Amino acid sequence: MASPALHPRSRLPGVAPVALQRSLALRFLSWAQPQPFFRLSLRAQCVALHLLTSLRLFGPAQTLAQSVITTTTTTSSSSQDSKADPRLSIFQVLKDTQPLCSKPGSSAVFDLLIKSYSSLRMVSDAVAALNLTKSVGLAPGILAYNSIIDAMFRCKTNSLDIQAFYEEMTKSKVSLNVYSYNILIRGFCSYGAFDRGLGFLHEMERVGCLPNVVTFNTLVDAHCKSKRADEAFALLTSMLQKGVQPNLVTYNAILHGLLVDEMIGRGLNPNEVTYNTLVNGYCNEGDVHRALVVHSEMVKNGIAPDVVTYTSLISAMCRDGNLARAMEFVKQMEERGLRPNEVTYTTLIDGFSRRVLGRFSLGHEEMIDNGFVHLLVHEALMIVQEMEEKCLMADVVTYSTMVAAYLRHGELEKALSMTTEMIGKGISPDKVTYSSLIRGFCEERRLAEAHELFDKMLSLNISPDEYTYTTLIDAYCKEGDIEKPLFYTTRCSKKGSFLMLLPTVFL
């Protein structure tokens, strides 16, 4: 008989069953991946793919699927049996193992396989997997089709072949969604086929699929780049008429594509403020590629990037986890004689402290044992010291970021030392600092100290937010203490706050 703690219908105090199953699945995978029984067995890996997909752990599942595809393809190409088709091998084993983990008739794991081929730009393999899925009576989801279309455009597939694939979709009665149309519009516009892109916009409206801001932004941007000002402004008008509100990307596209060129044409040279507005706008919207394009244009046009430009780019790189590129921009700043400011340094500290190494090969405990976590936090700490050496005072945001970094990696005592240091330098902890420390104490089950900090916040007239209340309520519920959660709930209600996150014990 299965252990009650691992039975899918059992409920552990304070832990939702699905959350527990996901945690166990990831911990098992972290342990199993280096083991010969797992990494040398296609069947074991396919069972894991079914398990991860059924638990909706799509990110880890896709990473594993990509590994399986790469390994199987490499092994097959070096095998003496050149007739072995790795695509058929993976598909067949997934099909054979499906009854063990997945619902009969579900295409989810096969959709994942197709998406994994597509993400590796193996378009023909993705199409083959799609056809195999249909051949066994399963209907691939729209996610699978979307991933293939996107991969075709990224691989610069002939537009006639893409058109043929699209027509096959419609012939098979596949219902396209807004993401499908956005991929098609963006792709054909990138090929210069603007009329085809507009045609898909009209088709969306005809079939009742409402275009969103991304749809219009793609078309506006494409027309602006091609200096089609009238069409771009007509699309902007159409957006407003259809109740789709333009956002920063929309106006950045118009500003960059039309107004900057018009300024130059009229002899009005854009200055660093113009370019910084564009760089910052693209970075805030997560469009790092466009931000880098504007940065290049800025330099080419003789406008020297300043601290604001570089801080925007560094922030974007840190958010993407590309710390090496972030540090390249820091080096560029220094080569240009620019000094990073407090915002630049705080951005770097947050970037280093948030970085997580290893998807499966290292679990969190092993990361700590091998010193990876300490290395990243140490690098963040070195940045604080560098700030001080350059006479830049670390502020409450900088210190709160470091406190949160230590706590994120289980270093409560170091977080407390950092808090003591900031107080010693005359910097008062704020709501973020206290909330982070309370969370740290709760995770260590040191609830009395967590409550002391809560009282300290109140004595300093710092109002705890919903996050703080939820952390305390959840922690006490897990300990079986009902009185304290009621006290916090009552106090939170009196403050007019609404608990957006319920403690997991109530789920």
What confidence score (pLDDT) does residue 329 get? Answer: 87
pLDDT for the residue 382: 63
On the question of pLDDT at 120 being above 90, the answer is: yes
* Domain final position from 340, 359, 387: 340
Contact 224, 232 (CB under 8 A): yes
The answer to whether residue 395 is domain-embedded is yes
In a domain, 80, yes or no: no
| Average pLDDT of every residue of the chain | 79
Q: Is residue 470 part of a domain?
A: yes
Confidence band, pLDDT 50/70/90 cuts, at residue 79: low
Residues 413 and 361 placed together within one structural domain of the fold: yes
Taking only the tens place, the pLDDT of each residue in 310-323 is: 888 988 888 887 87
For 178, half-sphere exposure in the C-beta direction (CA atoms, 13 angstrom radius) is 11
285 belongs to a structural domain: yes
- Residue range of the domain that includes 301: 269-340
pLDDT digits (tens, 9 = 90+) for 136-162: 999 999 999 999 999 999 999 999 999
* Main-chain dihedrals φ then ψ at residue 80, nearest 5 degrees: -70, -25
Tokens describing residue 116:
């994994």
* H-run or E-run covering 108: helix 108-119
Looking at the structure, do residues 276 and 312 belong to the same domain, yes or no? Answer: yes
Let me know if residue 190 belongs to a domain: no
Positive or negative, the Cα torsion across 329, 331, 332, 333?
positive
Mean pLDDT of 199-218: 91
Bigger pLDDT: 358 vs 35 = 35
Total number of domains in the chain: 3
In a domain? residue 318: yes
3-state secondary structure 445-507: CCHHHHHHHHHHHHHCCCCCCHHHHHHHHHHHHHCCCCHHHHHHHHHHHHCCCCCCCCCHHHC
Provide the whole-model pTM. Answer: 0.56
* pLDDT reading at 40 higher than 80: yes
Asked, for residue 336, whether it belongs to a domain, the answer is: yes
Same domain membership, residue 302 and residue 368: no
Q: How many Å apart are CA 62 and CA 71, to the nearest integer? A: 14
- Whether 416 and 357 map to the same domain: the answer is yes
Give yes or no for residue 488 having a pLDDT over 90: no
**Same domain as 335, residue 292:** yes
Going by C-alpha positions, the residue among 75, 3, 83, 4 that lies closest to residue 42 is 75
**Contact predicate 301/285, CB 8 Å:** no
**How confident is residue 381, by pLDDT bands cut at 50, 70 and 90?**
low
Instruction: Residue count of the chain, please give it.
Output: 507
Q: What is the pLDDT of residue 201?
A: 92
Residue 493: CATH number of its domain? 1.25.40.10
pLDDT in tens, 434-450: 888 998 898 888 988 98
pLDDT of 110 = 94
Which tokens belong to 233? 């402004």
- Does residue 109 carry a pLDDT above 90? yes
Q: What angle do CA 63, 152, 286 make, to 5 degrees?
A: 60
Contact status, residue 374 vs residue 355, Cβ threshold 8 Å: no
Same domain? 445 vs 504: yes
Report, as an integer, the average pLDDT of 173-194: 92
By CB neighbour count within 10 A (0-12 exposed, 13-18 middle, 19+ buried), where does 239 fall? buried
End residue of a domain, out of 420, 449, 477? 420
Tell me whether residue 307 is in a domain.
yes
pLDDT tens for residues 214-265?
Answer: 999 899 888 887 778 788 888 888 888 888 888 877 877 777 666 666 666 6
The pLDDT of residue 338: 85
Q: What is the pLDDT of residue 9?
A: 38
* Domain boundary pick from 391, 420, 449: 420
Tell me 35's DSSP state: S
Q: Which of 121-130, 222-231, 419-428 has the lowest mean pLDDT?
A: 222-231
Here the CATH number for the domain that contains residue 310 is 1.25.40
Q: Are residues 399 and 467 in the same domain?
A: no
> CA 12: distance to chain centroid?
30
pLDDT band for position 6 (cuts 50, 70, 90): very low
One domain, residues 299 and 334? yes
Using 50, 70 and 90 to split pLDDT, how confident is the model at 84? Answer: low
pLDDT of residue 184: 95
Rounded CA-CA distance 125/155 in Å is: 13
Q: In the chain, what's the furthest Cα-to-Cα distance?
A: 81
> What is the spatial distance between Cα 280 and Cα 296, in angstroms, rounded to a whole number?
14
Residue 383, pLDDT above cutoff 90: no
Cβ(14)–Cβ(477) below 8 Å: yes
